[in-house]
Amino acid sequence: MFEIGRELKRFFQPAPPRDGLSLGDAALLELLDLELLAAEAKASDVASGRIGERDKPRRLIESSGVWLEFARRTGDAAALRKAAACAEQAGRLARDEGRSQVEAQALCAQARAGLVGADLFAEDGLHAAADHLLKHAAETPEVQALRAVAAARLALGGADPVALHVAAQDLAAVLDDRRLRLADSQRVGLRLEQAEFLTGAGARLADPALIGEALGILAGLISALDGAYNPILLARAQERRALALIKLAEMRGDAAAALGALDALEAALDLVAPGHSPMDWARLQHGRGLAQAALAEAGEDERAFLKALQAFGQSLGVVGKHQHLALRAVVVQDRVACLVRRAEARGDLYALDEAEVALRCELAALKSPPDPIAWAVFQLNLARIYEAQAKARGRDRGEHARAAEALLAALDVFSEHGLRSLADLAATDLERLREAAV
């Protein structure tokens, strides 16, 4: 009887004043620029640390969400650690208070921090860590959804066709579950995860149907989102749509798909400024580079190659100084690949030498010890440069041997880490080199 009385008193007691501009509403965060978002994160710390706060675990979960959004937009590792720490503290307090549902929410917040960290820094171990955390949470629809996301990402890393199809089915089942009640921003975020996974799986399996499914999901999101209230979410949806169209363009040599991707990216760039969300803006510029490169390859258009290189350069202007960001390595690799394709189209040996120098500079700049997978991808690009140099010269001056050496090294790394699709790519290139030498 007394317990019920205390709970009723707690329920009807007026809420204390809230700090910050969002007043705890996560949907308002994307309207804040970086300066205001940083102030919001500090205000959330004040709110969660206030003496006499009635529901400290929930305030900590809110604080984790603000810091996570700041980390996602800036690539700031310290902000990401802060988001994870707030969620971890919230989970401990909720567990001590015997509040299993709140503890599950805190574990979900901690898992989301892990998933964002895996995106930003290419730390695949964070996917497994997120999955491990969620196994200790109460079985709620949100927990099941995030667990399906983590499993899908792990399946995408292994590239096993059966595992990919199973992960796609599991992810669709949990996201279509009517019991899944989340804030709109979290619901849209999960759908974006689903679309990104389907695009990646479709590219790995060379299955346009999976990419078409992703495009259908994204079309629904884009029609439902309002750029006046959800500029960043809408821009992210447009970016995912553009990347899906680029994959189709690469599969089919379809210039119309690449043009559609450019339209989506231009619409997204109208929504996001580099000062509002640097990481999103850099991703959009990277997407523009990929779309222009696809157009250039379809028509061997020198202007499109130059536009692609310009877009990659703008993206590097944001992420180029951050060695730890996964996006930086991806943009560098795609820029070098674009330089190689342009040089091949022109038969330009000087441009190939420029691409080799750029790639070797990036190899030298890799952190020590280097990420073995990033290093191996660089070896794939080096092998392609060596082959193109031999072709441009009209004779082999040791380039084929150097290409074979680079491909063997890459194949060893990909095989050791279970990256089957990349290992197959290296093996195919190596076999082509051996046949050409016969």
Q: Residue 136's CB: how many other CB atoms inside 10 A?
A: 12
**Mean pLDDT within 118-129:** 85
Residue in the structure block whose two tokens are 């019991």 = 179
Q: What is the mean pLDDT of the chain?
A: 85
Alpha-carbon distance of 71 to 73, in angstroms, equals 5
How high is the pLDDT of residue 329? 77
> pLDDT tens digit string along 408-418?
998 898 888 76
Residues whose CB is less than 8 angstroms from the CB of residue 71 and which lie 6 or more positions away in sequence, other chains included: 77, 79, 80, 82, 83, 113, 116, 120
Identify the band that residue 421 occupies on the pLDDT scale cut at 50, 70 and 90: low
Residues whose CB is less than 8 angstroms from the CB of residue 87 and which lie 6 or more positions away in sequence, other chains included: 60, 61, 64, 106, 107, 109, 110, 112, 113
Phi, psi (rounded to 5 degrees) for 181: -110, 110
370 vs 384: which has the higher pLDDT: 384
pLDDT over 70 (residue 55) = yes
pTM: 0.83
How high is the pLDDT of residue 12? 45
pLDDT over 60 (residue 19) = no
Residues whose CB is less than 8 angstroms from the CB of residue 159 and which lie 6 or more positions away in sequence, other chains included: 204, 419, 420, 421
Residues whose CB is less than 8 angstroms from the CB of residue 200 and which lie 6 or more positions away in sequence, other chains included: 156
pLDDT over 50 (residue 11) = no
Q: What percent of the chain is modeled with pLDDT above 70?
A: 91
> pLDDT tens digit string along 261-284?
999 999 999 999 999 999 999 999
Alpha-carbon distance of 185 to 253, in angstroms, equals 35
CB 349, CB 393: distance < 8 Å: yes
What CA–CA distances, in Å, run from 113 to 107, 178, 307, 343, 431? 10, 25, 35, 41, 42
Identify the band that residue 17 occupies on the pLDDT scale cut at 50, 70 and 90: very low
Q: Residue 114's CB: how many other CB atoms inside 10 A?
A: 26
**Mean pLDDT within 80-105:** 93
Give one DSSP letter per residue of 184-237, joined into a string: HHHHHHHHHHHHHHHHHHHHHHT-HHHHHHHHHHHHHHHHH--TTT-HHHHHHH
Beta strand segments in 6-50, E: none
